[in-house]
Amino acid sequence: MTPRHTRPPTDPPRQLESAHAHTPPVPLTPETALLQAIGWPVEADGLPQPPAWREKLAAHPGARPARVVEQHRSGYVVATAPDTTFTVESLAEWQRPRFPPEQRAGVGDWVLVQDSDNHRPQIVALLPRHSAIKRGAAGEHYRQQLIAANVDTVFVVCGLDADFNPRRIERYLLLVRGGGAEPVVILTKADQAALVDESLVPSAVAVVEDLGAKGFAVVAVNARDPASVIALLPWLGPGRTAVLVGSSGAGKSTLTNSLLGFDRMKTGAVRESDARGRHTTTYRALIPLPSGACLIDTPGMRELKPTGEEDVAENFADVEALAAQCRFRDCKHGREPGCAVRAAIEGGTLDTQRFASFVKLSGEVAGAATKLAHRRADNAAAKVQGKALNKRLDEKYGKH
Ligand SMILES: Nc1nc2c(ncn2[C@@H]2O[C@H](COP(=O)(O)OP(=O)(O)OP(=O)(O)O)[C@@H](O)[C@H]2O)c(=O)[nH]1
Ligand SMILES: [Mg+2]
Ligand SMILES: [Zn+2]
C-alpha cells in the first residue's frame, strides 16, 4: 500500500518559513528617509525592525505610516516628514466612550493612515509601542492617561526657584520609571537659584548628589541659554525621542525653544509669589530638533496620580533595605520595638520627608493597583460573557 500524503510532497515545508517571509520589502525611498527624520526605525532591508510592525504594514497594504505629533481635543495631527503634517480622523473604535484612553494613540505614537478621496485621511491601525509614559487620570473613576509613547528619555523638569520640590521629583521618577524610557532630571533656572533663596543651593546640591547616588543623571541648566542647554544633547541624538514633563512654569517650553533655535512654543512668566506657572502650553506637541531627535513638549501637570503599575520598592530601595532589618516582618515602622527605619530617621541617615513620601506613595500605588485589578477582572468577565453569548447564539442559529 502506498503511503497517503495529506499534502503533495512537492509542497514547501511551511514550518521552515518565517512568519514574515511573504512581507514584501519596502525599499528605502526618500519617503522612508523622511520618516526616519522623525524617528521611524528602519533596518537595512528598508523595513522597520519590530516584527509586529511589519505584520501590521502587511495587513494594511494601502496605508502609510505617520507619527502623531499633536493631540487636541478635536483630533490628531500626524507627520510623515519633519515639515509635512496634516490632521486625521481617529479610528472609529477609539471614539467609543468606554474605550480605554491609554489604548488610543497619543503623541509619539506611530499609526497607519489610509487616504480617502472624499474624507480626511483616517487612522486605521496603531503600531505597538516600545515605551509608554502614563499617569492615573484625574477624576473619580480609574482611568489611565498616556503622556507620550515611543520615547527613549523622559526629562523630569523642575525649576531651581521657589517651585523647587525634591518630593515632586521623587513622584515623577516613580511614575515614569516603569514606562520603558530612561528618566533624566533637569533642574532649570540654575542662573536664578542663588538670587531667589540662598538656602536653595545647598538643598539642590544635596538632591543632585542623592539622585546621582541612585543612578539618575541630573543636569542643571539655564533653559533660556542655548549654550547651556547643549548639556542635553547626549540624549538627543538622531532618531531618539524625548519627552519633557514637569509642573507649569518649570521651563519646558523655554527649553524646547532653546534646543530648537527659535521660539516655536509660547512661554509664560511665572507668578511672583510662588513661581507657579500659568499653564501656558495647552496641548502635547512633538517637535523635530536640528540635532535629529524629536522632543515632546507637554502642558504642566497639576496632579500626578499613579496608575498602580509603579514599582515602589525599586524607587525606594533605601527604605526597603532598612525595613528588611526591622525585628518584625510586618513592622509598620510606628512604635514597634527593633524598628530599623525609625532608628535610621532618628540617627539622621533617612530623611523624614523621604520616609513620609514613601508611605504616601505606597498607599496611593496600592490603592490604584486595587482599582486596576478590578478593572481587569471586569474586562475579563465581560469577555467571558461575550464568548458565552456567542457560543449560545452559535448553538441556536449556527455559526454567525
Ligand atoms: N532665568 C530663567 N528663566 C527661565 C528658565 N526656564 C524658564 N524660565 C522662565 O520661566 C517662565 C516659564 O517658562 P515656560 O517655558 O513657559 O514653562 P513651562 O514649563 O513650559 O510651563 P507650562 O507650559 O505652563 O507647563 C518663563 O518666563 C521663562 O522665561 C531658566 O532656566 N532661567
Ligand atoms: Mg510650556
Ligand atoms: Zn520598622
Give per-residue pLDDT as tens, 190-232.
Answer: 988 766 666 777 778 888 888 998 899 999 999 999 999 999 9
- In order of their start, the domains of the chain are 24-126 (2.40.50.140), 132-268+275-297 (3.40.50.300), 312-378 (1.10.40.50)
Closest-lying ligand 1 atom to the alpha carbon of residue 281 = 23
- The dihedrals phi and psi of 8, each to the nearest 5 degrees, come to -60, 145
Q: pLDDT (tens digit, 9 = 90+) per residue, 167-201?
A: 999 999 999 998 999 999 999 999 887 666 667 77
Q: How many residues comprise the chain?
A: 400
The residue with greater pLDDT, 31 or 154, is 154
Q: What residues are designated binding site for GTP?
A: 188-191, 246-254
Q: Buried b / exposed e across 271-280, counting CB within 10 Å, b at 16+?
A: eeeebbbeeb
Grid cell for residue 374:
478590578
**Residue 163 alpha carbon to ligand 1 centre in Å:** 11
Please tell me which of 37-51, 135-149, 282-296, 378-392 the model is most confident about, judged by mean pLDDT.
Answer: 282-296
The alpha carbon of residue 124 and the mean position of all alpha carbons in its chain are separated, in whole angstroms, by: 22
Pocket test for ligand 1, best of 245, 247, 259, 267 (most atoms within 8 A of CB): 267
Nearest CA to ligand 1 atom 7: 251
Ligand with smallest separation from the Cα of 324: 3
* Smallest-distance ligand from the CA of 300: 1
* pTM (predicted TM-score): 0.87
Q: Which segments of the chain does DSSP mark as H helices, in order?
A: 30-36, 51-59, 166-177, 193-196, 200-213, 226-229, 252-260, 312-315, 317-323, 340-347, 352-397
The DSSP bridge partners found for residue 42 are 48
Is the pLDDT at 360 greater than 60, yes or no?
A: yes
Checking phi first, is residue 44 left (phi over 0); if not, alpha (psi -120 to 50) or beta? alpha
Binding-site members for Zn(2+) are: 326, 331, 333, 339
